[in-house]
Structure 1
Amino acid sequence: MTLDPDAKLPETEEGTVVYNTDPLIIRSHYEIDYIHSYAQDSEFFRALGRKKLMGSKCKKCGYVYATPRSHCMMCGSETEWYELPLKGRVHTYTTCYFSGEEFLNETPFNLILVEFDGVNSLFMSRLIGAETKDIYIGMPVKAKFRRNLKMNVTDVYFVPDVEK
């Protein structure tokens, strides 16, 4: 065994760009490619291309999940696919002033938890088309879908459901 109390990390000429010192604001770049399988959740993402939202329903106790899962969290039984309504209500919301890289240039943006009639859990998504001051608990919303799918959960978003 070798012990070296004088060991050091290698130094480079690269440093960190500092924009401000109080509070400390720095530049940080992060990029990586992932290859992954949606496995049992594949139907959720395929359905987005058909402009449908799919949740799951317990085959035994009937609990309906807005976010799909293979087994019920209430009784442990298997679930089956369940088509969710495309209209719901704002259960709660928050305004995001910081984000991951994909949405950083869209900040601030609003996230909502949507409640649907006949569904026991909530669905988180972005709400566009409303300023924060105009959002309220119980506000009617409807789902919209990207035309060019990215095959991720952000392919669905919500807008205010107002009568015209």
Structure 2
Amino acid sequence: MAKNYKLPESEQSGTIVFNLDPLIIKHHYEIDYIHSYAQDTPFFRGLSEGKLLSTYCPNCGYKYGTPRAHCMHCGKPTEWFELPKEGYVHTYTTCYYGSEEFLKETPFHLILVEWPGVDTFFLGRLIGVEPGEIKIGMKVRAKFKRLSQFKPTDVYFVPAE
């Protein structure tokens, strides 16, 4: 007598097909990713301590709003310094669409923060304002999440009072 060998199938996990030629299907994939912040470690550790750290070049004096390990002008290694908590809106945009992480927050505002004496800007979120209330030159203050996730989104900005 022939045995019936058959793999069990579940109708609950069918394949979603988006296209047949070329074949494009949806496949869920999840993985834990372990990585190092390497030379940017002081920046992320600083966020967890309520500090906004960046770098400057001791050779040519160029100051960065976003840290860099080496100067983009002379190539020398940079050193760390603490940015002020208050800066100014250099420019802004309101985002009506976002990635999955920000989808619940749309619309949200992104700003480039500038500080006197710092040569580049820092990209961050501005909260607590309506689109018509944001102005170039507006004074803003850095705030930090109480429970750090060691992500760039641990810092955000609010209007300075």
- Pair in the same fold by TM > 0.5: yes
- Tell me if 1:128 matches 2:137: no
How far apart in 2 are the matches of 1:127 and 1:28?
Answer: 35
Partner-residue secondary structure (3-state), 1:141: strand
- Tell me if 1:118 matches 2:120: no
How far apart in 2 are the matches of 1:98 and 1:32?
Answer: 26
Q: Which runs of 4+ in 1 moved over 6 A?
A: 27-30
Q: Could you say which residue in structure 1 is the equivalent of 2:6?
A: none
State the shift of 1:159 in Å. Answer: 0.1
Partner-residue secondary structure (3-state), 2:71: coil
Listed as ranges, the gaps of 5+ residues in structure 1 are: 1-11, 18-26
State the shift of 1:33 in Å. Answer: 3.4
State the shift of 1:58 in Å. Answer: 0.2
Question: What's the % identity of the aligned pairs?
Answer: 59
Q: Could you say which residue in structure 1 is the equivalent of 2:99?
A: 100
Count residues in correspondence. Answer: 142
Listed one character per residue, the Cα deviations across residues 59-92 of structure 1 (whole Å, up to 9, x for unaligned) are 1001000111110001111100011011000000
Instruction: Give me the TM-score of the superposition, normalised by structure 2.
Output: 0.82
Please provide the CA RMSD for this pair.
2.0
Cα distance change of structure 1 residues 150 and 103 upon mapping to structure 2, 3 Å threshold: same
Cα distance change of structure 1 residues 30 and 111 upon mapping to structure 2, 3 Å threshold: farther
State the shift of 1:118 in Å. Answer: 1.6
State the shift of 1:30 in Å. Answer: 7.3
How far apart in 2 are the matches of 1:147 and 1:48?
Answer: 10
Larger Rg: 2
